[in-house]
Amino acid sequence: MSEQSGKRHYWHATFRTAAYIGILGALAWTTVMVIPISPLSEIPRIIVGVPGEWLLVAYLLYVVLGCGAFGWLSGLLNVIEKQENRKVSSAIMWPGFTMLFAGLTLSCVLLGYAGASGGYASTYGSSQSLQQLLTPYVNPIIATAIVAVAGAALVLLAMVRARGP
């Protein structure tokens, strides 16, 4: 419900939902990485090479940030909104939340896909050099990471500027 209709939007619930989505994503990602069905069963071998480590780093970042950070932010927002009874600006929080969630998810997925592609190429050979294979992913990963950082800054700004009743 919108704030204009008289109901207050509690951001801690939105961030908790994002944490649940992150947990489901992490469960799916874990399942894909360990399932013993070809071609997915090749993932543990792919991770061994340096480009394959990008996949592992992306996975760990997603688990920690996609689940943990959103859960932690939900807890902080719960204190701000329920215990301190302060209102967080939706005008700042909506773009911040959207940028943080989308930027984090996209950067981790791109990094993971690049790691899987590079790891596969280095493990099983490829006519394309690893640098040629991975270079197209670098700028999109950087761009989505910047979007996530900007979103986190907006979220923090909205939390700091929360006003009392």
Instruction: Kindly report, residue by residue over 24-39, the tens digit of the pLDDT.
Output: 999 998 888 887 777 7
Residue 164: closest CA among 94, 89, 93, 91? 89
Q: What is the mean pLDDT of residues 130-153?
A: 93
Q: What is the mean pLDDT of residues 114-142?
A: 84
Pairwise CA distance, residues 58 & 33, whole Å? 12
The pLDDT score that the predictor gives to residue 5 is 57
Q: Residue 15 pLDDT > 80, yes or no?
A: yes
CB 90 within 8 A of CB 3: yes
Residue 87: closest CA among 3, 162, 160? 162
Residue 112: closest CA among 25, 35, 36, 38? 25
The pLDDT score that the predictor gives to residue 4 is 55
Q: What is the mean pLDDT of residues 115-120?
A: 84
Pairwise CA distance, residues 33 & 16, whole Å? 25
Residue 73: closest CA among 159, 149, 154, 163? 159
pTM score of the predicted model: 0.86
Instruction: Kindly report, residue by residue over 68-84, the tens digit of the pLDDT.
Output: 999 999 999 999 999 99
CB 151 within 8 A of CB 95: yes
Phi-psi region of 128 (alpha: psi -120 to 50; beta: other; left: phi over 0): beta
CB 141 within 8 A of CB 110: yes
The pLDDT score that the predictor gives to residue 159 is 96
Type of residue found at 115? G
